[in-house]
Structure 1
Amino acid sequence: MKLFIASDLHGSVTATQAMLARFEASNADHLILLGDLLNHGPRNAIPDGYNPVETAEALNAYSKQIIAVRGNCDSEVDQALLQFPITASYAHVLLPQMRLFLTHGHIYNPQQLPPLQSSDALVFGHSHIPVAEYRDDILLFNPGSTTIPRNNGRASYGLITAIECQVRALDNDELLLSCSIRHTI
């Protein structure tokens, strides 16, 4: 199984369309969205291509493939525009080799871990900074932001397969970070 991970779209239809094109090209089974989908938030500048309605329409075309969690900028009003659920603050995806704990990152993050077992993964967004590393037998994975990268980073997304997790550049698909999946079975 291949999972495509994106976070912090912040209502940019331009970035969302680019991300969806990468999703299509990846042949991933599911599109995991880690929150902050439609609104830019009060601390962020309005991103290029800001159009929450068109962003929602673009995402809705993939509603049957999406697993999403709520970000700190998402609201019940956003849910009214979307044809897939976004109100859960976390979700679990069970893979044969590990459990993925999906969350936005404003509640649970590397500094405030949820209850996890050895070989589990915390998959989070919020910081807009990519991460792909193990810490004490827990995989920490953040795909960065498709729209508002921080720390002079690049717009990015992630992929998780049975053997590897990757962060890739949104503009040219360049590999930015990778980490092998540890198997404990």
Structure 2
Amino acid sequence: MKKIVVMSDNHGDDYAMEWIRELESDADYYVHCGDSETSDKRFLNGYICVQGNNDWTLDLPRFAKFKAEGLTFLVTHGQFYGYFKRENLMMVDLKKYRCDVMLSGHSHIPHYAKIGDYQFLNPGSTTLPRGGSARGYAVIYVDGKNLSYEFKEL
């Protein structure tokens, strides 16, 4: 079983990245879905990271891909998918990159969806939550091809 900690949209609160790593010190992977706006890239060490729409000074990729157990994950910030029917647009990239799960941020709202064989998770925001959600992040557990998750508050 693998444990994946996913965060997004801390918007300059560099210590949120360290705090989450301390809270979830037993994770196998740490993922940041963009808009870290960090002033010191060292805070991103140990994270699988992508560039968000506010990460102007960071040279990070638009997509990152990794495998955990029997699932392949695609990470992106999410600003190019709009707000309506996002999963339909995301599925195009999941198929293109041959992945099972999309991890993304941007909306600042925790969300999980499954459509057919594809899964989508947004951890929300550690700093600027929206939609009545709390500041938080997500933890994913992967056992073979089985995925379970929980949203955690900070």
Return the TM-score normalized by structure 1.
0.67
Instruction: Indicate the residue corresponding to 1:22 in structure 2.
Output: 23
Whole-angstrom distance in 2 between the partners of 1:151 and 1:92: 28
Equivalent positions of 1:4-43 (< 5 A) are 4-13=5-14, 15-24=16-25, 27-38=26-37
Partner of 1:106: 79
- Determine the C-alpha separation between the residues in 2 that align with 1:145 and 1:73: 14
Where does residue 67 of structure 1 map in the other structure?
A: 48
Distance in 1 of aligned mates of 2:17 and 2:105: 16
Q: Deviations over 1:44-82 (max 9, x none)?
A: xxxxxxxx44xx37715xx1x21101101112x2x3xxx
1:131 alignment partner in structure 2: 111
Extract unaligned runs of 5+ from structure 1: 39-51, 80-85, 172-185
Greater Rg over alpha carbons, structure: 1
> Does 1:157 find its partner at 2:137?
yes
The one-letter amino acid of 1:120's match is: D
Q: Cα–Cα, structure 1 residues 143 and 165, in superposed 2: closer, same or farther, change >3 Å?
A: farther
Q: How many residues align?
A: 143
Shift of 1:159: 1.5
Percent identity of equivalent pairs: 27
Write 1 or 2 for the structure with the bigger share of strand: 2
User: Structure 2-normalised TM-score?
Assistant: 0.79
Look up the match of 2:65.
Answer: 92
- Gaps in structure 2 of 5+ consecutive residues: none
What is the CA–CA distance in structure 1 between the aligned matches of 2:148 and 2:33, rounded to whole Å?
16
CA displacement, residues 93-119 of structure 1 (integer Å, 9 cap, x when unaligned): 123322111110112442422333497
Alignment CA distance shift 1:35-1:149 (3 Å): same
Distance 2:105 2:23 in 1: 18
TM-align CA RMSD: 2.3
More RCO (CA 8 Å, sep 6+): 2
